[in-house]
Amino acid sequence: MIRSRFVMGLAATLTLVASCSDDAPTRAGAARDATTTTAAAPAPTTTAPVSGPLRIMVTNDDGVSAAGIDAVVTALRALPNTEVTVVAPAAQQSGTGGKTTPGMLSATPATTASGLSATAVDGYPADTVIWALDQGGLPERPQLVVSGVNEGQNLGPVVNVSGTIGAARAAVARGIPALAASQGAGDPPTYEVAVGYVVDWVTTHRAALSAGSEPVAITSINAPTCGSGSVRGLLKVALASDPAGRNVLASDVDCASSSPAGADDVGAFNVGYATISPVPSTP
């Protein structure tokens, strides 16, 4: 994502949101280790294992050549018995929410930043899901859609203008669970932190995903890029309904803070926690 475009677009959106809110390894390894004490342990699963690879489609809103999607695809491809297909917008589509393009979509072969095979769709993030599922782009339905890793956090009311979330909503509307992942703004963003949480989530949920018993829902992970300290852990928190004067675009977060997390994603993220939150399937 181009940072200046990200800040300008979201600043305008947040002004609108605030006016109507009353109506509405090193870092990666340390962060994942901390989740054992800060995040609720997943419930044991009794789902029987299913043969065949876990099929994951990866998309984003920063475009097929963005660094974040390349990082997460590389990590997911390293998982055993996992088939990863990349279908992403041909160009930067930040802030386009759930917009779609009418008619048949155009798609061309492409590669990620490191040269991994991908398909570039001439359209919005949600269009990538439409092309893949509705227009016969993929020979088999994925069992999970991963959207990200986005450059910049998607917290609270920002989710409704996020193309990352827009793609996830398109997947859920078609009966496929979706995981949206965003790395907090920073110079540079530490994508490996969010990637680590994505890999952990997929590993924990893969039996249910393979069996078709994973709930069809959107899960959103946001990991701060730390200006100081390391990520304090992963907290399951609700989306903030109102920024309440807080900065939802904070960069280089002070992860050495000892301030309490608060009750929502903005509060937790801004004092150094990674957050995991359910996102409504519609705006």
Tell me if 149 sits within 8 A of 185, measured CB to CB.
no
What residue ranges do the domains of the chain occupy?
3-35+55-279
CA-CA distance, 275 to 266, in Å (whole number)?
9
How much is the pTM? 0.84
Predicted confidence (pLDDT) at residue 195 exceeds the cutoff of 60: yes
Pair 60, 69: CB distance under 8 Å: yes
Dump pLDDT digits (tens) for 222-243: 999 999 999 999 999 999 999 9
Task: Tell how strand 274-279 and strand 234-236 pair up.
Answer: parallel
Give, in words, the CATH class of 3-35+55-279: alpha beta
CA distance linking residue 250 with residue 14, whole number of Å = 13
The answer to whether residue 39 scores a pLDDT higher than 70 is no
Per the model's pLDDT, the better-predicted residue between 109 and 11 turns out to be 109
Query: From CA 105, how far away is CA 107, in angstroms rounded?
Result: 7
Has residue 148 got a pLDDT over 70?
A: yes
How large is the average pLDDT for residues 184-210? 98
